[in-house]
Amino acid sequence: MKRAAALLATVMPAIALAAEEGGSDRGLLYLAAGLAIGLAGLGAGLGMGFAVKGTQEGIARNPNAGGRLQTIMFIGLAFIETIALYGLLIAFILLFVV
């Protein structure tokens, strides 16, 4: 129930804005940009959390491999962060180009 209310609270202003402007779809572009950055941030956050969790479990099992695991984790985190940056790029394209 809370999810449906949150979805309606997110979507209704965009729909009202589109109706107010006589059918303009700028409100839906704003919604799409928000969803792009939100979902990209969610995916990146979950991915980073799982990567750090796995690294910490590996270090707990074998402390001697800590340095190598940590290096690999940081490289992986950099690649995971690109997901959020791509979401930001898509949001900027939706807001300023389309």
Domain annotation for the chain: domains and CATH numbers: 2-96 (1.20.20.10)
Q: How many other CB atoms are found less than 10 A from the CB of residue 15?
A: 13
User: How buried is 25 (Cβ within 10 angstroms: 0-12 exposed, 13-18 middle, 19+ buried)?
Assistant: middle
Q: Provide the whole-model pTM.
A: 0.68
- C-alpha span between 88 and 6 (Å, rounded): 22
What distances in angstroms separate CA 93 from CA 14, 26, 57, 58, 87, one per listed residue?
18, 13, 39, 40, 10
Per-residue pLDDT of the chain (98 residues; tens, 9 = 90+): 767 677 667 777 767 666 666 556 788 888 899 999 999 999 999 999 999 999 999 999 999 999 999 999 999 999 999 999 999 999 999 888 87
